[in-house]
Structure 1
Amino acid sequence: MPVTDVQQDLDNLTLTITADFAAPVERIWQIYADPRQLEKIWGPPTYPATVVDHDLTVGGRVTYFMTGPEGDKHAGYWRITAVDEPRSLSFDDGFADEDFAPNSKLPVFKNVYTFTEHNGGTRAVYVSTFESAEALQQVLDMGVVEGTTSAINQIDDLLAS
């Protein structure tokens, strides 16, 4: 399993997930840069993602929905804030309604994904920063650690295909 560490820090309002992959940085970057590959790893296995819009430029948006086992759909969006291809990607991540308008009842959090060479492969560090301890706790209660870990762990299967 690629995920090697998960740290929840309520004092600093962060959730940090570290994963190691047996592939070069450029290959891991491609997964996030290609919407069809992103679909294979963004949602957990039981909630696969469909990417609708995909613009990885500063100010760009990525919109998607995840479809649950009962056919229920859950929309979300990224607003891209920084790109350093192939080393890092920063974006605001939010929940949305069916038209991809932000859902103000759920938290928006800042994500910074970094990809560095490590032991002949790539170490990915995914840091999510929240506006409040309540917002972090809300997504923890929603199962974000389990969902994100299972989603990231799908990357090995994608790399093998």
Structure 2
Amino acid sequence: MKSNLKFDFTVNKENNTVNVNREFAANLELVWEAWTNPEILDQWWAPKPYRTETKSMDFREGGMWLYAMISPENVKHWCRNDYHKIVHQSMFSGLDAFCDEKGEVNKAMPRTLWTNNFNAQGETTIVSIVAKYDSLADLEKVIQMGFKEGFTMALENLDQYIAAQFKLRQRNKTSNKSRVSSYLNFDGKTEEAFLFYKHVFGTEFLGKGIERFGEIPEEPGNPPIAEGIKKMVLHVELPILGGHILMGTDAPKEMGFTLSKGNNMHLCLEPETRAEADRLFTELSAGGNVTMPMADMFFGAYFGEFSDKYGINWMINFQNPG
């Protein structure tokens, strides 16, 4: 992952705006999806130790995103974003406000008019953000509330989530031979579960064995890994029967994960060719819900993710061994 990603943050008190230019080490399709898909937004939008939980989202002009920022004590702070203009994979704008669970706006709090522009820069994407306020008093209030610190942490969540979820997979696949695996997410019990599976099947872990969050190299611009999760499992692979592979990871809230029944298991297909990856994705996702379109990832894979029309979760991952 690039350690010198662009990040410019300025406050303009003459026109009551915050202006941010932020580079992401991923292509335009992936970054756009991360900003517009509620399942992905829930995993990075809130600054730690808070987390985001979407109640509803209608991503269209005139639609609304209703979500809660949830504290470590499970106190919910509700917000809504009313979408004004959307140009696919180019820009969107919306008026954000604090509200209650029903979406009734808290008029005593400042509202933020977001305008987000997305620009492809080869293998990276720059998101140019303008947050505008009705008055200088509103601008100064959100700055005092920690806007810069909180928003910086949220953007770093997205960097770290992508890196943590996918960065190490390519280490364990040393050939282009196709394979099928099951990807499992746990609430801190990955090691316990995989030691149990290892005993049952009598097989050995692939690659470097159990890899942990604490092994993620520290890079400038990335937040440090919380002490409480350093020993949690980042990635592990275990062959079981007939060449089938179980992959697993812990999904700690501190890293922005929101684990629930239904998103804790994916079937992961790793075809031999890019064309076969496209075919599988297109045919299996027909009538389903695409959460991440097929795209070239900065970690070297051609990857996509979706739920099919029967509610089964799939990953398609074409990896050229390095």
TM range (shorter): over 0.9
Q: SS of the counterpart of 1:124?
A: strand
Q: Deviations over 1:93-120 (max 9, x none)?
A: 1111232210010011210011101253
Q: SS of the counterpart of 2:105?
A: coil
* Aligned residue in 1 for 2:159: 156
* Aligned residue in 2 for 1:17: 20
The letter for the 2-side match of 1:34 is N
The letter for the 1-side match of 2:135 is S
**In structure 2, what is the Cα distance between the partners aligned to 1:32 and 1:21?**
12
* TM-score in terms of structure 2 length: 0.48
Structure 2 gaps, min length 5: 166-322
Question: More displaced, 18-27 or 57-66?
Answer: 18-27
CA contact (8 A) 1:3 1:17 kept: no
Say which of 47, 58, 62 aligns to 2:50. 47
Say which of 96, 109, 112 aligns to 2:112. 109
Structure 1 position 157, deviation (Å): 2.0
| Structure 2 counterparts to residues 88-103 of structure 1, below 5 A | 88-103=91-106
CA contact (8 A) 1:3 1:149 kept: no
Of structures 1 and 2, the one scoring higher in RCO (CA 8 A, sep 6+) is 1
Structure 1 position 32, deviation (Å): 1.9
When residues 156 and 140 of structure 1 are mapped into structure 2, their CA distance, relative to the original with a 3 A threshold, is: same
Say which of 143, 148, 151 aligns to 2:146. 143
**In structure 1, what is the Cα distance between the partners aligned to 2:12 and 2:155?**
20
List structure 1 segments (4+ residues) > 6 angstroms apart after TM superposition.
Answer: none
Structure 1 position 65 matched with structure 2 position 68: yes
* TM-score in terms of structure 1 length: 0.94
The letter for the 2-side match of 1:125 is S
Structure 1 position 158, deviation (Å): 2.6
CA contact (8 A) 2:27 2:122 kept: no
Say which of 130, 134, 149 aligns to 1:131. 134
The letter for the 2-side match of 1:154 is N
* Aligned residue in 1 for 2:77: 74
Number of residue pairs matched by the alignment: 161
* Aligned residue in 1 for 2:124: 121
Name the structure with the higher strand share: 1
The letter for the 2-side match of 1:110 is L
Q: Deviations over 1:61-115 (max 9, x none)?
A: 0000011122221100000001011111100011112322100100112100111
Q: Deviations over 1:29-72 (max 9, x none)?
A: 11122111011111102111001111110000000001112222
**In structure 2, what is the Cα distance between the partners aligned to 1:15 and 1:47?**
22
Q: SS of the counterpart of 1:153?
A: helix
Structure 1 gaps, min length 5: none
Structure 1 position 12, deviation (Å): 1.3
CA contact (8 A) 1:3 1:153 kept: no
Q: SS of the counterpart of 2:118?
A: strand
**In structure 2, what is the Cα distance between the partners aligned to 1:141 and 1:89?**
26
Q: Deviations over 1:14-43 (max 9, x none)?
A: 001221111111110111221110111111
Structure 1 position 3, deviation (Å): 6.0
**In structure 1, what is the Cα distance between the partners aligned to 2:133 and 2:8?**
19
**In structure 2, what is the Cα distance between the partners aligned to 1:122 and 1:92?**
23
Identity of aligned residues (%): 27
**In structure 2, what is the Cα distance between the partners aligned to 1:146 and 1:62?**
23
The letter for the 2-side match of 1:147 is G
